[in-house]
Amino acid sequence: MQTIGPESVVCAVGTVNKRPDRMINPALPTGEVEIVLEDLICLNKALNVPFLPGQKELPNEEVRMRYRYVDLRRPTVQGNLRTRSKAAKTIRDYLFSQNFVEVETPMLFKSTPEGAREFLVPTRSHNRFYALPQSPQQHKQLLMAGGIDRYFQFARCFRDEDLRADRQPEFTQVDLEMSFVQPNDVQKVIEAILKSVWKEVLAIELPANAFKRITYNDAMRRYGSDKPDTRYGMEIIDISAFVPDAAKDDVIECLVIRDGAKMTASEIKEILQSAAIQDLKSIPHVKINESNIDSWLKKQTFTHFSSHCEVAGREIARQKEVKIGDAIFLHKRPAFLSGGNTPLGRIRVAAASKMATKGLLSIDPSQYNFMWVDSFPLFSPDEEGKRTLTSTHHPFTAPEPDDIDLLISNPEKHYDIVLNGIEVGGGSIRIHSAELQTFILERVLRLQKEEYNRFSHLVDALASGCPPHGGIALGRDGIDLKDNHEANQNILIGGSDTLEAQAESAVSGVRGFLAEQKVDAILCVAGGWAGGNAKSKDFLKNTQLMMNQSANSSLIASRLAALYLKEGGILTLTGALAAAQGGTPGMIGYGLAKAAVHHLVQSLGASGSGLPNDAQVVAICPVTLDTPMNRKFMADADTSKWTPLEEVAKQLYGWCSGEIKVSNGKLVEVQTDNGQTTFREL
């Protein structure tokens, strides 16, 4: 026995007896029985187990993921997997009882624009790819056209999106579709499924009125979100009518936070940053005290010039029961609502979290507030709000019958099911008319002929006599973000955070695993491309994107180098040869961002830059790198002059190891011709 370590696999031979009453331990899985041992055989000794599944203090997540097979032995993880399995069985049993047919749809499909970026799977034919499905949307519509009037599956979906806590590259959804239905029919099925799961898995009986309803416009006006958490109040108040001369054609809103005056200035700043408020001055706020409870509107940016200020401030405080000790945030926005949230909506969520942490707001985690959100706009305008439209959800959702001549302004038959501020499902009644589908793709969304042809199979199916149909996709995996398992550490920073907040996240993350150690090299390989000249519709948007991807990433890398690079180490950034050779009129934002990287390299290479002694900084300046993304968007290009990533990796390794010499503060031209890659200092 003493030679067998913890987590070893053994075979115990003996007699199973009931424990004496005084020895029964209900806290143990085997607490009611004992084995009178006759023999013990070690089947497999456990050697060098990094941690014990039952230990109280577990190692960090990186260690647990590295030894996932040990982590899976923990009762909590086992319970999660078994709960997931039980939920799947409950859903399957209910749908089978309602005459649904489970159908597996293909995992390899052709690329079709549905909203998110796709994962591409190369074939053995050059420049030919499959796409992994973002959802089975088109497949299940083909099933409806084929007479499978009630379909479902546990669908695996893939979306190449920016990683967030609620977005993963792959996830599972309960996907279903029904013929000859209205929204209420689909919603009844989902409500029944959720009630069954809560009862069978959680032993909770949801009440008959568990599912409330709200329109998109009401949700956005009252909560500033299309997926509101209604476990707490803090509703947004439209005060435009009180100060009409200040509001004019816009909307002035305020958010009253009870006891919000107890928050410090730094806590309020943290809330605004968490809510991705870039310009903190755009959201004025005031703490209510005895001296300003009637006059709080007088000094606010949007309202100080209004002739109604004093009366309005006093009347709002009276009607909305504003009290001394509250805090009020204000915002002025366009009257037209679009997108998934408003600035005050994001502040509401961040403030609720902060107030709950401080014990000033109670949010019951065992409370389940379901909400159906419907009447979404069918299309959203572009950022200028003029001509170009995009599908709010996907281009297969049907408008209301009376709204076909008012597609832009009237609601569609889309519906989301929301639980405690999280969207757990979304669906719609689909377009079953080939003529209407064609009109939306060609005339409203203005797809090019090549893009339209990607949907020709669906349009043909609708034209064959497809019945009216609708459905929903329910639930996404609550799995952890997919880290790079080849890396020793992964640090995720908020894409919408300020540059200062992003840098702090990166520095804090590196500090967490390096402590006082230094590294030999820091490589910033940030890339990306977006074109456009000064007349382009997305000129400013693309320029900001390029600055974020290239210049800001390089600034963060420089900050890390100043703190964690060894003396004599090297910092390598990524520039572009086009930006080093002159102007870039067809891609101004891209050239501007890369030129900023080039200037940064020259500045950091000079004395007094803040980098460690004898440290070097260089930037590679390629023409075109041979990446999967470039091959996708430039499928017909001549790739003979594209630089393989392997060649760049070899050069970077040579610089880092000292095997290849490079001058400090230099830009290095990267050229490839007929399979030969050269690196030359400019």
Please tell me the predicted confidence (pLDDT) of residue 63. 92
pLDDT of 454 above 90: no
Q: Are 98 and 225 within one domain? A: no
Q: Is residue 606 part of a domain?
A: yes
Q: DSSP states of 565-576 as a string?
A: EEEEEEEEEE--
CA 274/CA 271 separation, integer angstroms: 5
Name the pLDDT band for 541 (thresholds 50, 70, 90): confident
Point out the domain boundary residue: 74, 93, 122: 74
Domain that holds residue 207: 78-212+429-455
Please tell me the predicted confidence (pLDDT) of residue 403. 46
Q: Are 206 and 234 within one domain? A: no
Residues 140-152, mean pLDDT to the nearest whole number: 96
**Cα 619 off chain centre by:** 31
* Helix, strand, or coil (residue 86): helix
pLDDT of 486 above 60: no
Q: Tell me 386's DSSP state.
A: S
Q: Are 333 and 222 within one domain? A: yes
HSE-CB at 315 with a 13 A cutoff on CA atoms is 10
Joined tokens for residue 486 = 């080849």
Select the more confidently predicted residue: 9 or 485: 9
Name the pLDDT band for 397 (thresholds 50, 70, 90): low
Name the pLDDT band for 394 (thresholds 50, 70, 90): low
Please tell me the predicted confidence (pLDDT) of residue 478. 35
Please tell me the predicted confidence (pLDDT) of residue 513. 67
CA angle 62, 494, 487 (to 5 degrees): 30
Q: Are 68 and 127 within one domain? A: no
Q: Are 538 and 677 within one domain? A: yes
Residues 480-484, mean pLDDT to the nearest whole number: 32
Dihedral (CA of 531, 533, 539, 544) sign: positive
Select the more confidently predicted residue: 637 or 93: 93
CA-to-CA dists, residue 553 to 117, 138, 619, 626, angstroms: 22, 38, 13, 21
Q: Are 244 and 138 within one domain? A: no
Q: Are 280 and 199 within one domain? A: no
Q: Is residue 675 part of a domain?
A: yes
Please tell me the predicted confidence (pLDDT) of residue 29. 75
Give per-residue pLDDT as tens, 64-77: 999 999 999 998 88
Lowest-confidence region among 305-314, 328-337, 491-500, 534-543: 491-500
Give per-residue pLDDT as tens, 211-254: 999 999 999 999 999 999 999 999 999 999 999 999 899 999 99
Residues 52-57, mean pLDDT to the nearest whole number: 87
Q: Is residue 386 part of a domain?
A: no
Q: Are 85 and 196 within one domain? A: yes
Q: Three-class SS string for 265-327?
A: HHHHHHHHHHCCCCCHHHCCEEECCCCCCCCCCCCCCCCCCCCCHHHHHHHHHHHCCCCCCCE
Q: Is residue 616 part of a domain?
A: yes
Q: What is the CATH number of the domain that holds 503?
A: 3.40.50.720
Q: Is residue 477 part of a domain?
A: no
CA 367/CA 351 separation, integer angstroms: 19
Cβ-contact 224, 348 below 8 angstroms: yes
pTM flag (> 0.85):
no
For tokens 């143990």, the residue is: 28
Please tell me the predicted confidence (pLDDT) of residue 384. 44
Point out the domain boundary residue: 54, 74, 94: 74
Q: Is residue 397 part of a domain?
A: no
Residues 40-57, mean pLDDT to the nearest whole number: 91
Q: Is residue 416 part of a domain?
A: no
Dihedral (CA of 360, 366, 367, 373) sign: positive
Residues 38-55, mean pLDDT to the nearest whole number: 92
| Distance between start and end Cα atoms, the chain | 70
Q: Is residue 145 part of a domain?
A: yes
Q: Average pLDDT over the chain, rounded to whole?
A: 86
Which of 559, 569, 570 lies closest to 618 in space, CA to CA? 570
Strands 643-644 and 625-626, bridge-based pairing: parallel
Name the pLDDT band for 127 (thresholds 50, 70, 90): confident
Q: Which of 590, 632, 641, 653 is catalytic?
A: 590
Name the pLDDT band for 391 (thresholds 50, 70, 90): low
Q: Which of 89, 594, 650, 653 is catalytic?
A: 594
Q: Averaging pLDDT over each range in 179-188, 270-279, 441-450, which range is the top one? A: 179-188
Q: Are 88 and 169 within one domain? A: yes
**Looking at the 3D structure of the chain, how many domains does it have?**
4
Q: Are 69 and 82 within one domain? A: no
Q: What is the CATH number of the domain that holds 290?
A: 3.30.1360.30
Please tell me the predicted confidence (pLDDT) of residue 494. 56
- 594 given a catalytic annotation: yes
**Cα 382 off chain centre by:** 21
What are the contacts of 21-26 at 24+ separation with CB within 8 A?
A: none
Q: Are 667 and 616 within one domain? A: yes
Joined tokens for residue 324 = 């001394």
Inter-helix orientation angle 343-357/216-223, to 10°: 50
Which of 431, 474, 479, 371 lies closest to 95 in space, CA to CA? 474
Residues 374-388, mean pLDDT to the nearest whole number: 61
CA 592/CA 306 separation, integer angstroms: 42
Name the pLDDT band for 14 (thresholds 50, 70, 90): very high
Residues 6+ apart with CB under 8 A from 386: none
Q: Phi and psi (nearest 5°) for 153?
A: -165, 160
Please tell me the predicted confidence (pLDDT) of residue 300. 84
Select the more confidently predicted residue: 650 or 478: 650
Lowest-confidence region among 309-323, 326-340, 414-428, 500-514: 500-514
Buried b (16+ CB within 10 A) or exposed e, 139-178: bbbbbbbeeebbbbbebbbbbeeeeeeeebeebbbbbbbb
Lowest-confidence region among 1-5, 366-370, 507-511: 507-511
CA 210/CA 583 separation, integer angstroms: 61
Q: Are 638 and 557 within one domain? A: yes
